[in-house]
Amino acid sequence: MPEKERRMANIRRLIYGLALIIAALIQNSVAFLPRLLNVKAVLLLPLVIGVAMQEFEIPALFFGLLAGLLADIFSAAPGGFNALLFTSFAFLVSALINTVMRNNIVTALLFNGLGLLIYFPTHWLFTVVLKAREGALAVFLTFHLPSALYTLLFFPMFYYFAGAVKRRTHIRAL
């Protein structure tokens, strides 16, 4: 990889990393992001998917791992739960985009929707059901399902952000 291309890739990944830290701070802060009906958005998931759609598999995998570790710091889920899911999502999305699927907003919606359909029920399973808490179905219907819908609202912002960073830091070959 030529020196200028490597430098631009490092700048791109630094921007993605800063966005990840900012999203984690906003997600876990009470003051920045309003809670609608006492539900909160998981901003890291659409950011991971948006970045994974712009990167190759290995950088996406490490980005997903970092996002998952940041999410695990504040999560009620078992240790490593978010790291495992976010790493898997990032790798699979990147592999599918780079081999089989096209990178567009419809695909981003599909990946975000599937990611949320996997993440929130498994999070509910590990944090509520397996701990034998009362009213597990009510918790899912009043917290986890609305949180998934609230999170889905943020995917276009992160998808277009990651695409803009990729376009601004990409060096075109002749």
Task: Return the half-sphere exposure (C-beta side, CA atoms, 13 A cut-off) of residue 91.
Answer: 12
Q: Which of 28-37, 62-71, 89-98, 113-122 has the lowest mean pLDDT?
A: 28-37
Across 128-138, average pLDDT: 84
At residue 30, the pLDDT reads 76
The more confident residue out of 153 and 31 is 153
The more confident residue out of 165 and 129 is 165
Across 29-51, average pLDDT: 86
Is the pLDDT at 93 greater than 60? The verdict is yes
Contact 63, 111 (CB under 8 A): no
At residue 45, the pLDDT reads 96
Give residues with Cβ within 8 angstroms of 42, minimum separation 6: 27, 71, 119, 147, 151
Amino acid at 18: L
At residue 174, the pLDDT reads 47
Predicted model pTM = 0.92
130 — pLDDT class (breaks 50, 70, 90): confident
Domain ranges of the chain: 3-168
173 — pLDDT class (breaks 50, 70, 90): low
